[in-house]
Amino acid sequence: MKNRKFIWLFALIISLGLVLAACGGGEETSGGESNGEGSSDEGSADYTVAMVTDEGGVDDKSFNQSAWEGLKAWGDEHSLSKGAGFDYAQSEDESDYLPNMTRLVRNDYDLVFGIGFLLEDAIKEISEQNPDNDFAIVDTVVEAPNVASITFAEHEGSFLTGVAAAMKTNTDKLGFVGGVDSELINKFEAGFVAGAKSVNPDIEVDIQYVGNFSSAADGKLIATRMYNDGADIIYHSAGAAGNGVFAQAKDLKQKDPDREIYVIGVDRDQYEEGAIGDHNVTLTSMVKRVDTAVQEVSNLGLNGEFPGGEVLVFGLQDEGIGIADTNTEAYTEEIASAVQEWRDKITNGDVKVPQTRDELKAFEEEL
């Protein structure tokens, strides 16, 4: 009798196990609830991806936001949802970088992106500690077999914004507001100045740095001084701090709607950030397809082709860098035509755009 009861209980446990396994299997392949914008096919959470922002935050309307949009697009593509296939961790300052990455690895994310060169040290450390995980860093190079380094030809796109600014300015005074004075942001600076002076060597460019990528208040203060000193177009490469440049330009436009004053956005098309009533102060934007790069590298990882140890470069030639023409009222056909001519010169190799201040100095001497 005891033996018969044991057999019955054993059979019952096995049956329940099969039912639970069937239910669990359905959840595992669904990848969580879809937001309705992706494919109708069931997703797969076999490969999961997350990203760690720099201090600008995920909604900086620039660099981090572009990366997050790319990761969301990847999630939509595979019918995954936030927290069930892809996610992000927001950093308030540099002390958050490594802890955020460590948490995401412990949460079993297969690929973790570090968004920005500021995360270089954290990526180096976490990749050494977790050789079986995939990692990617944007805007710098980390030499490790499990790290993909994603870089862009920012100087080329910045050159084109300089051309546009030089053709649009009425004062022949421009401004450049950078975030952190670094090798990377110097590429934006050098390209912008080279482009502007290629059109008009006598143009003046006021160059100032915020010191971070997060303080919109400091960005606004710098922009105030530049506009007061006669600059009518400012190109920013300052992340969330660049929002302060937009704020000041819109304040001035609101006070004097007839004043021609503009901002050049960065990383993504920042046309919406320039809207003020019936006007828009965004002349153009240097579009850096961080979103496309994040989505592409995520798919490579999913397909078992993660480019660990490789340096990926996205430039004008492959549409990894571009310039927005959304503001058709300000960004005229004449400007668009000139920009295209210079774009062709760059892609054909007729013009080598400087990436550093020393290269810029040599470039200017030949004008």
Number of domains within the chain: 2
Average pLDDT for residues 67-91, to the nearest whole number? 96
Q: What is the CATH classification number for the domain harbouring 88? A: 3.40.50.2300
What was the pLDDT predicted at 349? 95
Q: Please provide the average confidence, as pLDDT, over all residues in the chain.
A: 89
Residue 10 lies in a domain: no
Residue 175 lies in a domain: yes
What was the pLDDT predicted at 44? 54
Q: Are 249 and 282 in contact (CB under 8 A)?
A: no
Residue 44 lies in a domain: no
Q: Are residues 139 and 211 in the same domain?
A: no
Q: Are residues 207 and 356 in the same domain?
A: yes
Q: Are residues 183 and 59 in the same domain?
A: no
Q: Are residues 307 and 237 in the same domain?
A: no
Q: Are residues 180 and 60 in the same domain?
A: no
Q: 43 pLDDT exceeds 50? A: no
Q: 5 pLDDT exceeds 80? A: no
Q: Are residues 165 and 240 in the same domain?
A: yes
Q: Are residues 277 and 347 in the same domain?
A: yes
Residue 17 lies in a domain: no
For the chain, give the percent of residues with pLDDT over 70.
88
Residue 43 lies in a domain: no
Looking at this protein, which amino acid is placed at residue 4? Answer: R
Q: Are residues 185 and 243 in the same domain?
A: yes
Q: Are residues 165 and 283 in the same domain?
A: yes
What was the pLDDT predicted at 189? 98
What was the pLDDT predicted at 79? 96
Residue 42 lies in a domain: no
Residue 31 lies in a domain: no
Q: Answer with the residue of higher pLDDT: 134 or 39.
A: 134
Domain that holds residue 341: 154-287+332-365
Residue 142 lies in a domain: yes
SS (H, E, C) 249-267: HHHHHHHCCCCCCEEEEEE
Q: Are residues 104 and 93 in the same domain?
A: yes
Q: Are residues 220 and 343 in the same domain?
A: yes
What was the pLDDT predicted at 61? 85
Q: Are residues 137 and 230 in the same domain?
A: no
